[in-house]
Amino acid sequence: RALDTQHLLEGIYSYELYSAPLSNEYGHDSAAQCFSDSVLWYFIVGDTNQAKKQIDHIIQNHLPKLNPREVDNTMSLIFPLLLGMKELRMAERADNVLKRYVSDRFHEFGCSLNHWLTLYKPIVSLLQVATMDEMQVYHRKTLEEIEFWILKHGASCFSPAMQRDGYILVGELCWRISRRKSSVDEKRQHLAAMGIDLLNSALSAKGGNADEFMMRKAEFILQNIKDMKDRPHLKRRNSLKAAKAKVLGYVRTTRKTTKK
């Protein structure tokens, strides 16, 4: 039903005609926000192609027209895009969008980021780590800095309004970083345990508007961390099995050659 309404909105909405009046009347452009939120609605129904088209449309037609000094409103509009691009393995592009429309403007104009301030560090860090995962190129110093921040501040830095989403973002960071560590690494265990606690807290939180996309993401990450904890030596066993198979293969080949 939400997407049906969104399709109707797309037929009548013009950013040039309606954004300023809506913002003046209600404090923000709720129609433009629906465009952004619909990106995640498309993921919920499994239409990733349309989600990508919507992301491209908003980046090309909405973001360049935003007031550069209204960084809080901009962050509201691009947050669903960042999540969607990360799911589409476009984390580097998402990081560039965040930098161009939020970070650079925040520093250039000295704008406020009051509402979104506590989520800024987690989303920046998550996009950095997701980009490394996509490229399979890891920057040790950056990962160590993010890991230090997670273990020191990751569970306590959020405003009440942002706590649920913050816990899910940090939970995903815990999963992405811990899964690359050795099964005997103590920090892997700390990160995994912290991720489980944060995600359980997010999923059990009462009240508010629980975003279905974020809840599904939390469930997915939580299960992955639990699987990782339940089978800490699986990767090692598989590696040993593969090595053993190679040795046996070599022995068989050698025997055949010797017989000839």
Q: Which residue has the higher pLDDT, 80 or 249?
A: 80
Report the number of secondary-structure helices (H) and strands (E) in the chain.
Answer: 13, 0
Which stretches within 140-233 are classed as H helix? 140-153, 163-178, 186-204, 212-230
Instruction: Compute the average pLDDT of residues 154-181.
Output: 91
Per mean pLDDT, which of 6-15, 214-223, 235-244 is the most reliable?
A: 214-223
* Residue 174 within a domain: yes
Counting the structural domains of the chain, the total is 2
Domain assignment of residue 100, yes or no: no
Does residue 125 sit in the same domain as residue 40?
A: no
**Using N-to-C axis directions, what is the helix angle for 186-204 and 163-178, rounded to 10°?**
150
131 and 251 together in one domain: yes
Same domain for 38 and 120: no
Residue 121's pLDDT band (boundaries 50, 70, 90)? very high
Average pLDDT, the chain: 83
- CB within 8 A of 33, min separation 6: which ones? 76, 77
Domain identity same for 34 and 149? no
The answer to whether residues 46 and 131 belong to one domain is no
pLDDT over 50 at 129, yes or no:
yes
Q: Is residue 236 a part of any domain in this protein?
A: yes
Residue type for 156, please?
Answer: S
Q: Convert the pLDDT of each residue in 198-211 to its tens digit.
A: 999 999 875 555 58
In a domain, 22, yes or no: yes
Domain that includes residue 19, residue range: 1-82
- Whether 41 is covered by a domain: the verdict is yes
Q: Which of 5-9, 61-65, 195-199, 207-211 has the lowest mean pLDDT?
A: 207-211
Contact indicator for 95, 127 with CB cutoff of 8 Å: yes
Record the tokens describing residue 211, joined without a space.
Answer: 């975003």
Specify the pLDDT at position 68.
83
pLDDT tens per residue, range 84-117: 999 999 999 999 999 999 988 887 776 666 778 8
Can you say whether the dihedral through the CA atoms of 238, 240, 246, 249 is positive or negative?
A: negative
Q: Using an 8 Å Cβ cutoff, are 149 and 126 in contact?
A: no
pLDDT top residue among 108 and 150: 150
What the block records as the tokens of 184 is 């005997």
Residue 109 maps to a domain: no
At residue 236, the pLDDT reads 43
